[in-house]
Amino acid sequence: MRRTLYDQDHEDFRKSVRDFVDREIIPNSAEYEQEGMIGRSVWRGAGALGLLGLCVPEEYGGSGAEDYRFNAVMDEELTRAGLAYSCALGVHTHVVAPYLVERTTEEQRKRWLPGFCSGEMITGVAMSEPGGGSDLASLSTKAERDGDDWLISGSKIFITNGYSADFLIVAARTTPDTRSKGITLFGVPTDTPGFSRGRKLDKIGQTEGDTAELFFDKVRVPSSNIIGELDRGFGLMMQHLAQERLASAVCNITHADLVLESTLAYARERQAFGQSIGSFQYNRFMLADLRTSIDVTRAYVDACIAASTDGDLTAVDASKAKLWTSEVQGKVTDTCLQMFGGYGFMNESQVARDWKDARVTRIWAGTSEIMRDLISRSLELG
Ligand SMILES: Cc1cc2nc3c(=O)[nH]c(=O)nc-3n(C[C@H](O)[C@H](O)[C@H](O)COP(=O)(O)OP(=O)(O)OC[C@H]3O[C@@H](n4cnc5c(N)ncnc54)[C@H](O)[C@@H]3O)c2cc1C
């Protein structure tokens, strides 16, 4: 079905992102995989192209696009290079940016946004902790007041860009013995004394992207680094997670589509019993099911992108998109790996890599179980 979401401006933008991916990322991706992190030149190149500050007003160095469709195009094109790229740059552009644009003071915007947009300042969001990620309200990293400063102590885990980040949004408890009502968000430059990083975490997929455990030992930040209001961080996280989940959904369905396309090509060529494996009725029907799932899902995701562009995407609809796309992607990558037979089980095959890369999408940004919980709450079941 023809997609009607994008107009010529978006397609022109797509071409420039695609050129960037082909020129700056794909030729260097083996090196980034070896190092377990994406090179700084990618960040600077993305900054120069205006990708990092898509929703940031021009006066702070951004593109001032104010149209989520550009963010979606960026995700679709970066996913061609690998989910690790759309995740790493996406956390920065789609997740961190709204906090820094919408929840900050003028002084903070002037201080943080120019470096954010240029790619000089790589960022991430540190919410999850070793003790739990689903139940964010129970987080135990604390911030204690010391004059006009705060001292942050505790640890975070599984933080995307955590190893390369220059700046993190950190969720910490500012009022003891509370749950959601006593959490505050702080902007923390990672060169602040007391901050340290563990090793790059050894993941089963997306090895080009860095994911880290972070430690805070009385990290001193001024009150002027509070993002939003004191003790109101939990509500902000819940609001902004909707966009993170939409971004995840765009990448998931794009990735599933790419995997299916390469599998269709293989199924046409690979022979067994004197015919192509794709021509067996069982496989034809299976591939037809995958094509249908992806196309129907894509229509829902496009509707969510349009709703986000209009400013009325609900948290529940974003959760549905995230849940459904990650489950479809899981089914697609697993079925496609099967179509490659023994080659599919080899680490060197692209489909094996896609299968490993995709597994996390049912876990991060809220697990499938948490998505179902959020959606079910809207059903007024009591
Ligand atoms: C590669 C990667 C990158 C990530 N990036 C970031 C990041 O940048 N920033 C960040 O803050 N976090 C990040 N995370 C953390 C991620 O958000 C958490 O892993 C996720 O929210 C789950 O938390 P957990 O791992 O502590 O699992 P737990 O919360 O311990 O959950 C374990 C299991 O219990 C289930 N469960 C929990 N509660 C319920 C319930 N109420 N009902 C039913 N089942 C339930 C879960 O669904 C899961 O299956 C990342 C994780 C990964 C793997």
Residue 196, φ and ψ in degrees, nearest 5: -145, 165
Pocket of ligand 1 (CB under 6 A): 91, 124-128, 132-134, 158-160, 203, 211, 360, 363-367, 369-370, 373
Pick the CATH number of 125-231 from 1.25.40.10, 2.40.110.10, 3.40.190.10, 3.40.50.300: 2.40.110.10
Ligand 1 nearest atom to the CA of residue 126, by list position? 11
Question: What confidence score (pLDDT) does residue 1 get?
Answer: 85
**Residue 348: band (very low, low, confident or very high) from pLDDT cuts 50, 70, 90:** very high
The Cα 139–Cα 185 span in angstroms is 12
Q: Is the dihedral of CA 175, 180, 185, 191 positive or negative?
A: positive
Residue 207, φ and ψ in degrees, nearest 5: -75, -15
Residues 263-301: pLDDT tens digits?
999 999 999 999 999 999 999 999 999 999 999 999 999
Catalytic residue among 76, 77, 213, 244: 244
Ligand 1 nearest atom to the CA of residue 367, by list position? 47
Q: Choose which residue among 128, 139, 183, 243 to substitute to test ligand 1 binding: the one with the highest number of ligand atoms within 8 A of its C-beta.
A: 128
146 three-state secondary structure:
strand
Question: What confidence score (pLDDT) does residue 328 get?
Answer: 98
Question: What confidence score (pLDDT) does residue 382 get?
Answer: 81
Residues with Cβ < 8 Å from 300, sequence gap 6 or more? 320, 321, 324
Residues 59-78: pLDDT tens digits?
999 999 989 999 999 999 99
Pick the CATH number of 235-377 from 1.10.10.10, 1.20.140.10, 3.30.930.10, 3.40.50.1820: 1.20.140.10
The upper half-sphere exposure of residue 70, i.e. CA atoms within 13 Å in the direction of its Cβ, equals 18
Please state the rounded mean pLDDT for residues 305-333. 97
The mean predicted confidence, pLDDT, of the chain is 97
DSSP state of 168: E
Residues with Cβ < 8 Å from 296, sequence gap 6 or more? none
Question: What confidence score (pLDDT) does residue 71 get?
Answer: 98
What's the angle, vertex CA 60, arms to CA 41 and CA 188, rounded to 5? Answer: 70
Please state the rounded mean pLDDT for residues 234-257. 97
Q: Choose which residue among 91, 134, 252, 319 to substitute to test ligand 1 binding: the one with the highest number of ligand atoms within 8 A of its C-beta.
A: 134
Question: What confidence score (pLDDT) does residue 206 get?
Answer: 98
Residues of the chain with CATH 1.20.140.10: 235-377
Residues 121-178: pLDDT tens digits?
999 999 999 999 999 999 999 999 999 999 999 999 999 999 999 999 999 999 999 9
Q: How many whole angstroms from 133 Cα to the centroid of ligand 1?
A: 4
CA-closest candidate to residue 68, choices 110, 97, 109: 97
CA-closest candidate to residue 96, choices 26, 31, 167, 34: 167
Question: What confidence score (pLDDT) does residue 222 get?
Answer: 98
Residues of the chain with CATH 1.10.540.10: 8-121
Please determine, for residue 24, whether its predicted confidence score (pLDDT) is greater than 90.
yes
Please state the rounded mean pLDDT for residues 43-53. 98
In percent, the amount of the chain with pLDDT more than 90 equals: 99
Strand stretches in the chain, DSSP E: 123-126, 142-146, 149-160, 167-173, 183-189, 195-200, 211-222, 226-227, 271-272, 275-276
DSSP state of 312: -
CA-closest candidate to residue 185, choices 158, 152, 163, 216: 152
Please spell the DSSP secondary structure of 246-283, one letter per residue: HHHHHHHHHHHHHHHHHHHHHHHH-EETTEEGGGSHHH
Question: What confidence score (pLDDT) does residue 53 get?
Answer: 97
Residue carrying structure tokens 């990083």? 197
Is 380 marked active-site?
Answer: no
The Cα 7–Cα 299 span in angstroms is 16
**Residue 199: band (very low, low, confident or very high) from pLDDT cuts 50, 70, 90:** confident
Question: What confidence score (pLDDT) does residue 3 get?
Answer: 94
In percent, the amount of the chain with pLDDT more than 70 equals: 100
Residues 35-47: pLDDT tens digits?
999 999 999 999 9
Q: Which fold has domain 8-121?
A: Butyryl-Coa Dehydrogenase, subunit A; domain 1 (1.10.540)
